């Protein structure tokens, strides 16, 4: 077989293989409405880590442990792992004098209303999935809804 014939045979085989592949393509399965994909959650956590470093780290520390009697810990607490709306509200309203597991934390946590809904959703998703925590992602729409109630 000559080189020319070999090239023609190879091109024909590749074309036929491509046609078969195109015909057997698997259908696209869409995610349920409102469900966050693992990729979306991972991206949210990465963005949230940046927001945390810029806004939260100095009080809550790199390990989320807070500062005894001053700044509340973020490690496996009911505030972090519990009700989404309550947690969002803490960022939007701020807080002071919270008791967690029998210990009172007296420092003032300021409002973070200057952060966008996306930034708040991202940082809370980061916190809820860091420091040994494991909880569902916070959605931007949840923050938007909570923000309406705060105003």
pTM of the model as a whole: 0.76
- Domains defined along the chain, listed by start: 36-150 (1.10.760.10)
pLDDT one-digit tens code per residue, 21-70? 444 444 444 444 555 789 999 999 999 999 999 999 999 999 999 999 99
What do you get for the CA distance between the two ends of the chain, in Å?
Answer: 80
Q: 4-22 burial by CB neighbour count: b if 16+ within 10 A, else e?
A: eeeeeeeeeeeeeeeeeee
* Token pair in block for residue 46: 């990465």
| Eight-class DSSP state of 131 | T
Q: What angle do CA 18, 20, 22 make, to 5 degrees?
A: 70
Q: What is the pLDDT of residues 67-91, one digit of tens each?
A: 999 999 999 999 999 999 999 999 9
d(CA 105, CA 100): 8
């Amino acid at each position: 077989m000559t080189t020319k014939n070999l090239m023609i045979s190879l091109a024909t085989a590749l074309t036929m293989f491509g046609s078969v592949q195109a015909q057997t393509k698997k259908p696209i399965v869409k995610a349920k409405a409102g469900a966050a994909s693992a990729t979306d959650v991972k991206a949210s956590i990465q963005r949230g880590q940046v927001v945390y470093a810029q806004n939260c780290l100095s009080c809550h520390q790199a390990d989320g442990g807070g500062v005894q009697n001053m700044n509340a810990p973020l490690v496996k607490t009911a505030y972090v792992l519990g009700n989404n709306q309550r947690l969002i509200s803490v960022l939007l309203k701020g807080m002071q004098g919270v008791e967690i597991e029998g210990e009172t934390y007296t420092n003032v946590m300021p409002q973070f209303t200057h952060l966008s809904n996306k930034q708040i959703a991202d940082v809370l998703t980061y916190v809820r999935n860091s420091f040994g925590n494991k909880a569902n992602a916070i959605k931007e729409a949840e923050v938007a809804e909570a923000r309406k109630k705060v105003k």
